[in-house]
Structure 1
């Protein structure tokens, strides 16, 4: 057993594997989660509780060593999805294996064992450690392989279709349009991956000076012909178990949103980052994750009939980094009204001026967005926004928040109230 006065990494790793393997056998002897009796549910909960307690103790004592073993002494920079799968192989019992995750991938959220909580424990402790955590944050700023492969085409043509995102460069301005129109631009795994690719391309493209993020035109009968910025997390996908803890809930924060703030990291050995200013054009509404994005962009133009909201507390989950960033923007009292009370903020309200820079007539949004992008195209903007972001959100503050967010969000993802709420939505 791993004690407070731990022995070596390898000794404790063997103890962890032995203890958790017994739990694996106990769980395998039970029916599927939906078919368990009250006594069997209690047995499974006990297995998970004791195994997670040991995992947390192991990581509290060995997080730096574990991270170094998985990154070859921090000479490699794996993304979080690769890192956690490598951890499953190198340290059996620490996090779920690829096979265990695959077995649950087709299950509705309430039918899963909650193995992603073990991933939350892992990332909480890695991110808590300044050395390992900073290395991981920086690693996630590297451009994706997909973006690097597409970059020559984008440089040549100035436009690309990325599935749920369209990107077009016009006069040095890259217009990134969210086109996940079947669900009012709700966020899911695919959109998160496409947005990171688009952000990478904007930042790496020498011909782009400013990025613009806006929602596409809808076909939904209620909003047909109108743009919508974002409907927040796709609750149908959450109910159906299709929202990944690592690739979505952690990946969007450490990936494309962090790149919007800090830029993309180059591999020139100097640790240089390419950063560019961003404009948001908000039509109709920016709900949940959509509103979260506005808190990191440099200039927000909102249609006068649009609104912003963060209903995550009503849904039961944590709204990304809004709990960190929103108070800076609007103050503690209004932040609590928005996050805890679900207050909508209409662009026409006075308080909205703390969240948006310009309020435009809906018929004049295109011109207002273009004007904002032109102002930010000045060469002096990028270095100054870098220093503003450094003052507003130092990397270690971000890292420390993400450490607590990792486990808190994983626990919320499998909490009884969240599972009950998302059950209202069919997959």
Structure 2
């Protein structure tokens, strides 16, 4: 049974982490389902915004389910659990569609790292953020000590990772990590998603690529994506494809 649901309503998609008895802690199966949702969204040209939520009232996501990695050998833990999770998080972060994470309760560990992959975050007033990995003898593995440092000051990340301090919604808002603190964060996210509908999807996609390249979010891939989009619109590209299909030498015009 799927514990990551993808629902599409018009031009807005919603991904829901649905493992509430474990505070939406992520399992191997959930990571695979999240990747499948990303693949579906990239093949859905009519989607203008994606909202990421967690089921239940107690947590957006409490991190990674310890039963999924607790018994792994050191090699399997590093090679499979950490690297695979990191790869899937990267795929979510690099969706061409704008993404909004709705943190209606707590986002800890892998849950905070997943929220950091979204383009925009909305928090409830009583929600908190934390990096509690050291309490179970590990370190953040899915961007807590890397991607999060592009979004929060280094001392704040150290507070959470080294001293176990939680970050409140008001403080996260003051530092720009969240776009809004709302008593109705999901409604706020849907209202924000509506603003994406009339905008040019290609313009927003290119803007996202430019921003990611500027801040170092897979810079090489973003630069190549921008270049690919540019060359793909040229007459020379069309001529090259036609010549290949017709088994003749291309006659490039420079258009």
TM bracket, shorter-chain basis = 0.7 to 0.9
Q: Does the CA contact (< 8 Å) of 2:25 and 2:62 recur in 1?
A: yes
2:21 pairs with 182, 205, 230, which one?
Answer: 182
Q: Distance in 2 between matches of 1:389 and 1:371?
A: 24
Decide whether the 8 Å contact of 1:345 with 1:351 is kept in 2.
no
1:366 is matched with which residue? 186
Superposition TM-score, scaled by structure 2 size: 0.76
Secondary structure at 2:107 match in 1: strand
Which structure has the highest strand share of the two? 2
Q: Quick check: 1:278 aligned with 2:99?
A: yes
Partner-residue secondary structure (3-state), 2:123: strand
**Cα-to-partner distance string for 1:75-124 (whole Å, 9 max, x where unaligned):** xxxxxxxxxxxxxxxxxxxxxxxxxxxxxxxxxxxxxxxxxxxxxxxxxx
C-alpha separation between the residues in 2 aligned to 1:296 and 1:283? Answer: 17
Distance 1:181 1:351, change over 3 A: closer
Q: Does the 8 Å contact 2:23/2:58 carry over to 1?
A: no
For 1:96-107, list aligned pairs within 5 A: none
Counterparts of 2:21 and 2:72, CA distance in 1: 19
Q: Unmatched 5+ residue regions in structure 1?
A: 1-161, 218-225, 264-274, 399-427
Specify which of 193, 216, 224 is matched with residue 393 of structure 1. 216
Match of 1:114 in 2: none
- The superposition leaves residues 325-353 of structure 1 with CA deviations (integer Å, 9 ceiling, x where unpaired) of 22222222112112221210011336654
Equivalent residue number for residue 120 of structure 2? 299
Instruction: State whether structure 2 residue 45 is matched by structure 1 residue 213.
Output: no
- Aligned match for 1:172, one of 4, 7, 11: 11
Bigger proportion of residues as helix:
1
Deviation at 1:314, TM superposition (A): 2.7
Q: Is the 8 A contact 2:28 2:68 kept in 1?
A: no
Contact 1:231 1:288 in 2 (8 A): yes
8 A Cα contact 1:185 1:228, kept in partner: yes
Secondary structure at 2:24 match in 1: coil
Match of 2:15, SS state, is strand
Are the aligned partners of 2:69 and 2:81 in contact in 1 as well (CA < 8 Å)? no
Q: Tell me whether 1:261 sits opposite 2:93 in the alignment.
A: yes
Query: Is residue 214 of structure 2 the alignment partner of residue 375 of structure 1?
Result: no
User: Helix, strand or coil for the counterpart of 1:280?
Assistant: strand
Distance 1:347 1:234 in 2: 24
Q: Give TM-score scaled by structure 1 length.
A: 0.47
How many residues align structurally?
Answer: 215
Describe the shift of the 1:193–1:350 C-alpha distance in structure 2 as closer, same or farther (beyond 3 A): closer
Q: Unmatched 5+ residue regions in structure 2?
A: 222-255
- SS in structure 2 opposite 1:295? helix
2:25 counterpart SS class:
coil
